[in-house]
Copies of this chain bind each other. A is one copy, B any other.
């Protein structure tokens, strides 16, 4: 009785704080964080190079803004509790908030990029990089332009973006909603059924035709003969081009433009590509890579605890890593005058790209979490305030500097701390040096066991700065990411 009571006590104590992040979310830290920030920085630079300006929208929107935009997936939207006031939901993607922003501000043209988190109450599959909270890196062009001109640039951004991140074994599948719509029309699919049939067709790259056909008939309520007709057309590599002539004309125009960018060999027309989202109206595309990310790269430490969340049976590699398309009617849905602003966009799936980039960087120990380059040490005496004063000089000169937060510490401890951080330079204060108003500056990791150079206190910042410029660091993340391309 007593033992049971004690057990209940300790159980409730443990239960008091469930030390975990919510399902489908995770913390990012250490080298993973440095790599991910490197990817964000790389993509921002890419988007800016193409004239992109960035915006930031709230993480939640009025619920009615999101409703009716995501078809069947609307059930995955996170709602905020009704605590009085407006009903709101977490954003599901960055596209609908962008369209709301364009309509609300009466913007007629903008090239905007947005790197931010989105939220989906999906079944998490950590090994596939599918989370409930994840980043999207989107670049979208809104405005009425000549056919396929911004669309072609999206494909250029997609291709050079992946290549710049060292991902070369990818292919881009293209299709055109108008071509698909034409086929469905010819096959006798009713207009209101087009989107749900689309989402079945989209599974053709993962499931055999028989499964997709079954879904069309059983779940999407299509007559068997309609399903068979779709199969015939879609499975055909060549298209009977009586229908969908506009889509085909667009594709012909596009092919000249992607030729000018020198990316045509990376693209392939794929009639089975449909993309789930309701709002696409024209060209759609998706980059896939055959390379799968091994489960260990995503979150090796927590592998065990994640197993229950992870549906190993549908593990098919990281799948699509960039995707997008044209959506000409979404802004109009938010506009009182129903005036639409045509849009086209591309979205990089960071979590998936991260797995691929990390895989290449992880074997070497080059990536550092810390940026500290200089460690200030005291030999013999603590010299804490003296170390602080030297640190202040270096910080003011823009130099990343640390020292032990101790009044006194032995030299070995201080060298260990410097080494652990990966510092290049030690600034050493000894009794003699301090008395002379000097410090010793010693380059670390040279293999040479010297005492360093004696430097005047007043000259320490410029001296160290110059010395650092001469040290080529191999662990700079942008250099590492850049090197991946070679």
Contact = CB atoms under 8 A, between A and B. Distances in A.
A479 to B, nearest CB: 14
Interface in A57-73: 57-62, 64-65
A82 B79 CA distance: 8
A371 B156 contact: no
Given A49-B398, A51-B370, A104-B19, A388 B261 contact: yes
A401 B370 contact: no
B64 A18 contact: yes
A28 interface: yes
Nearest to A156: B392
B395 A121 contact: no
A100 B26 CA distance: 12
Interface string A12-27: 0110111111110111
Say how many copies of this protein the assembly contains: 2
Contacts of A78: 80-81, 83
Interface string A328-342: 000001101000000
Nearest to A86: B22
Contacts of A184: none
Contacts of A5: none
A193 interface: no
Given A51-B372, A146-B407, A421-B51, A260 B389 contact: yes
A182 B24 CA distance: 46
Contacts of A334: 17, 19
Contact of A48 (B65, B81, B371): B371
Among A36, A48, A62, residue most surrounded by chain B Cβ atoms (within 10 Å):
A62
A56 B131 CA distance: 14
Among A26, A27, A30, A36, residue most surrounded by chain B Cβ atoms (within 10 Å):
A27
A386 B256 CA distance: 11
A287 interface: no
Nearest to A51: B402
A170 interface: no
Interface in A1-55: 13-14, 16-23, 25-30, 33-34, 36-37, 45, 48-55
A369 interface: yes
A388 B29 contact: no
Contact of A405 (B25, B83, B146, B399): B146
Given A79-B83, A405-B149, A117 B22 contact: no
B61 A369 contact: no
Contacts of A104: 19-20, 27
A80 B50 CA distance: 38
Contacts of A29: 53, 55-56, 101, 105, 112
A392 to B, nearest CB: 5
Given A25-B60, A33-B56, A402-B50, A260 B392 contact: yes
A51 B400 contact: yes
Interface in A370-387: 370-372, 384-386
A470 interface: no
A405 B28 contact: no
A289 interface: no
B371 A149 contact: no
A30 B53 contact: yes
A33 B49 contact: no
Contact of A388 (B30, B33, B52, B152): B152
Nearest to A85: B23
A359 interface: no
Contacts of A121: 83
9 contacts: A18-B62, A19-B334, A20-B104, A22-B58, A23-B86, A27-B56, A28-B56, A29-B53, A59-B117
Interface of A: 13-14, 16-23, 25-30, 33-34, 36-37, 45, 48-62, 64-65, 78-83, 85-86, 88, 90, 100-101, 103-105, 112, 117, 119, 121, 133, 141, 143, 145-146, 149-150, 152-153, 156, 160, 256-257, 259-262, 333-334, 336, 369-372, 384-386, 388-389, 392, 395-396, 398-402, 405-407, 421
